[in-house]
C-alpha cells in the first residue's frame, strides 16, 4: 500500500513540475546567435518552444508549419528591395538586399492577415510590416533624418518614447527606454491600417501596430532590437512577454 501511495505521489509531483505544452514560433530567418530564441525562452521557460526557420524550409514545409504556428517573429536583417514600395531606381542607397527573404515575409504576413496569428517584428520586421501594408521607407536615414540609428561600428543606442498607449503591451504614454539600434532605413510613409505608438528623438516611427486591434490583437513592430536587451529591461521584456501572452491565450 505504501508503495502505491508513494507511486501516486510521484506521478502527481512529476505532473506538476513538467513543462507546459509545446508552442511553435515561425522565424522569418534564424541566425546563428539565436537571439530571438534566447529572448523568448529566457522570458518563459515553462513552455517547450519550437522554432522554425522559414528561410530554410521548402514552401510545402512552411505551409504545413504555418498550420501549427502559435506566433510569428519577423527578425532583423538585410534591406527590403525598394521596388516593393515603388522606388526601384534607388537600390544604390541600399545595403545588402535579399529578395528571397522579401517574398518569404510576404507569405508570412499574408498568413497573419488570414489567421490573425500573433506577430512581432524586430527592425527589418517593422519595415516589412510597413511595406506590406503599402508604406514606404527612408532609403538612408542620414540623408533625411539623422545618423543616430547606427554608428560606423554597427549597433548604437538612443532613447525612444511612447506616444500612444496600447493595451497589448501596456506601456504608458511618455515612458522612455534606451534601446539597441542598428539600421539605416526606417518608415517614411506609414502603411494603411497601421498606427505609430513610439518615436525616436528625430521623429522616426519606432513602434507600430495595426489600428484594428479587434481583428489583430497582437500585431506589433519595433524598429529596435528588444531581443538584444540586457536581462531586467522591463520595457523590452514587457514587449516580449506580451507576445508570449498573446500566443498562450490563443
Query: Which pLDDT does position 89 carry in this prediction?
Result: 86
Residues 6+ apart with CB under 8 A from 29: 53, 54, 55, 75, 77, 101, 104
Q: Is the pLDDT reported for residue 8 higher than 50? A: no
Report d(CA 159, CA 228) in Å as an integer.
Answer: 15
Q: What is the pLDDT of residues 79-102, one digit of tens each?
A: 999 999 999 988 988 999 999 999
Query: Which of 155 and 56 is assigned the larger pLDDT?
Result: 56
Tell me the pLDDT band of 7, cut-offs 50, 70 and 90: very low
Q: What is the 8-class DSSP label of residue 190?
A: P
Report d(CA 169, CA 118) in Å as an integer.
Answer: 13
16 included as an active-site residue: no
Mean pLDDT of the chain: 91
Query: Which pLDDT does position 250 carry in this prediction?
Result: 67
Rg of the chain's alpha carbons, rounded to an integer?
20
Find the catalytic residue in 123, 140, 149, 206. Answer: 123
Q: Is the pLDDT reported for residue 9 higher than 80? A: no
227 included as an active-site residue: yes
**Using H for helix, E for strand and C for coil, what is the string for 113-158?**
HHHCCCEEEECHHHHHHHHHCCCCEECCHHHHCCCCCCECCECEEE
State if pTM tops 0.85. yes
| Weakest mean pLDDT among 1-5, 113-117, 161-165, 231-235 | 1-5
Instruction: Write out the CATH class of domain 19-248.
Output: alpha beta
Residues 6+ apart with CB under 8 A from 61: none
Report d(CA 236, CA 82) in Å as an integer.
Answer: 29
- Cα separation of the two ends of the chain: 43
What is each CA distance from 199 to 51, 60, 159, in whole angstroms?
30, 39, 9
pLDDT > 90 fraction of the chain, expressed in percent and rounded: 84
Find the catalytic residue in 81, 111, 183, 225. Answer: 225
Q: Is the pLDDT reported for residue 24 higher than 60? A: yes
Find the catalytic residue in 30, 37, 206, 227. Answer: 227
Report d(CA 186, CA 99) in Å as an integer.
Answer: 18
Cα torsion angle, 136, 78, 108, 88, sign: positive
Q: What is the pLDDT of residues 156-199, one digit of tens each?
A: 889 999 999 998 999 999 999 999 999 999 999 999 999 999 99
Instruction: Domain ranges for the chain, please list them.
Output: 19-248
Cα torsion angle, 125, 130, 131, 133, sign: positive
Q: What strand order describes the sheet that includes 20-27?
A: 47-53, 20-27, 71-74, 119-122, 219-222, 205-210, 194-199, 156-162, 176-181
153 included as an active-site residue: no
Amino acid at each position: 500500500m505504501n508503495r502505491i501511495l508513494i507511486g501516486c505521489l510521484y506521478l502527481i509531483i512529476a505532473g506538476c513540475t513538467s513543462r507546459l505544452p509545446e508552442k511553435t514560433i515561425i522565424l522569418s530567418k534564424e541566425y546563428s546567435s539565436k537571439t530571438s530564441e534566447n529572448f523568448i525562452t529566457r522570458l518563459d521557460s515553462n513552455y517547450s518552444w519550437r522554432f522554425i526557420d522559414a528561410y530554410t524550409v521548402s514552401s510545402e514545409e512552411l505551409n504545413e508549419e504555418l498550420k501549427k504556428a502559435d506566433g510569428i517573429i519577423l527578425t532583423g536583417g538585410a534591406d527590403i528591395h525598394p521596388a516593393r514600395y515603388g522606388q526601384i531606381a534607388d537600390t544604390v542607397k541600399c545595403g545588402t538586399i535579399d529578395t528571397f527573404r522579401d517574398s518569404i515575409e510576404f507569405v508570412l504576413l499574408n498568413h497573419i492577415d488570414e489567421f490573425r496569428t500573433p506577430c512581432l517584428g524586430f527592425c527589418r520586421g517593422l519595415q516589412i510590416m510597413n511595406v506590406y501594408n503599402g508604406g514606404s521607407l527612408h532609403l538612408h536615414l542620414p540623408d533625411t533624418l539623422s545618423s543616430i540609428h547606427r554608428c560606423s561600428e554597427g549597433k548604437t543606442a538612443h532613447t525612444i518614447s511612447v506616444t500612444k498607449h496600447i493595451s497589448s503591451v501596456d506601456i504608458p504614454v511618455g515612458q522612455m527606454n534606451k534601446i539597441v539600434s542598428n539600421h539605416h532605413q526606417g518608415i517614411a510613409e506609414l502603411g494603411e491600417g497601421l498606427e505609430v505608438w513610439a518615436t525616436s528623438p528625430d521623429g522616426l516611427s519606432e513602434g507600430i501596430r495595426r489600428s484594428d486591434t479587434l481583428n489583430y490583437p497582437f500585431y506589433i513592430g519595433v524598429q529596435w532590437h528588444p531581443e538584444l536587451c540586457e536581462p531586467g529591461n522591463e520595457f523590452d521584456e514587457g514587449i516580449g512577454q506580451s507576445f508570449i501572452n498573446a500566443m498562450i491565450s490563443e
